[in-house]
A and B are shown apart, each in its own frame.
Chain A
Amino acid sequence: MKVAIIAANGGMFDAYKVLNIATAAAASDAEVGVFFTFEGLNLIHKEAHKQLPMPAGTEHYQEGFKKANVPPVEELLGMAQEMDVKMIACQMTMDVMSLEKEHFVEGIDVGGAASFLNFAKDANVTLTF
Chain B
Amino acid sequence: MEVTVNKQLDAKGLACPMPIVKTKKEIQNLEPGQVMEIQATDKGSTADIKAWAESTGHQYLGTKEHDEVLKHYLRKASADEEKAETKHEDILSLDDLLAKVEGNEEVQILDVREPAEYAFGHIPGAVNIPLDELENRFEELEKNDELNIVCRTGNRSDLAAQKLTEKGFGNVKNVVPGMKDWKGPMNTKQ
Interface pair A28/B55, CB less than 8 Å apart: yes
Q: Kindly state the separation between the CA atoms of A1 and B16 in the bound complex, as whole angstroms.
A: 20
Most buried by B among A1, A24, A70, A71: A24
Query: B52 is contacted by which of A20, A27, A71 (Cβ under 8 Å)?
Result: A27
> Which A residues touch B48, using CB under 8 A?
24
0/1 string, B139-179, CB within 8 A of A gives 1: 00000000000000000000000000000000000000000
Please tell me if A29 contacts chain B, counting CB pairs below 8 Å.
yes
Would you call the interface of chain A mostly helix, strand, loop, or mixed? loop
Residue in B closest to A29 when the chains form the complex, CB atoms: B56
Which residues of the other chain, A, contact B14 by a CB distance below 8 angstroms?
69, 71
Judged by a CB distance under 8 angstroms, whether A23 is at the interface is yes
Interface residues of A toward B: which range?
A: 10 to 19
Known A1-B55, A29-B55: A24·B15 in contact at CB below 8 Å: no
**A48 interface residue, CB < 8 Å from B?**
no
A69-B55 in contact given A24-B20, A27-B24, A79-B21 (Cβ < 8 Å): no
> In the complex the two chains form, what is the Cα distance from A129 to B13 in whole Å?
27
Contacts of A83 in B (CB 8 A): 21, 24
Contact residues of A between 58 and 113, Cβ < 8 Å to B: 68-71, 79, 83
How far, in Å, is A32 (CB) from chain B's closest CB?
Answer: 12
- Alpha-carbon distance A27/B48, docked complex (angstroms): 11
Counting residue pairs across A and B whose Cβ atoms lie within 8 Å, the total is 36
User: B59 interface residue, CB < 8 Å from A?
Assistant: no
Q: Contact between A28 and B20 (Cβ–Cβ < 8 Å)?
A: yes
Known: A1-B55, A28-B55. A69 touches B13 (CB 8 A): yes
Whole-angstrom distance between the alpha carbons of A6 and B158 in the complex?
A: 49
User: Would you give the shortest CB distance from B167 to chain A, in whole angstroms?
Assistant: 40
Given A28-B55, A28-B56, A29-B55, check contact A69 B21 (CB 8 Å): no
Interface string of A23-41 (1 = CB under 8 A from B): 1100111100000000000
Within the complex, what minimum Cβ distance (angstroms) separates B171 from chain A? 43
Q: Known A-B contacts: A23-B17, A23-B21, A71-B15. Give 15 more (CB < 8 A).
A: A20-B16, A24-B17, A24-B48, A27-B23, A27-B24, A28-B55, A29-B24, A29-B55, A29-B56, A30-B55, A68-B15, A69-B15, A70-B15, A71-B18, A83-B21
List 7 interface pairs A-B (beta carbons < 8 Å), by A numbering: A24-B17, A28-B20, A28-B24, A68-B15, A69-B13, A71-B18, A79-B21
The 10 closest A-B pairs by CB, nearest first: A27-B24, A24-B17, A28-B55, A70-B15, A27-B21, A27-B20, A68-B15, A23-B17, A20-B17, A69-B13
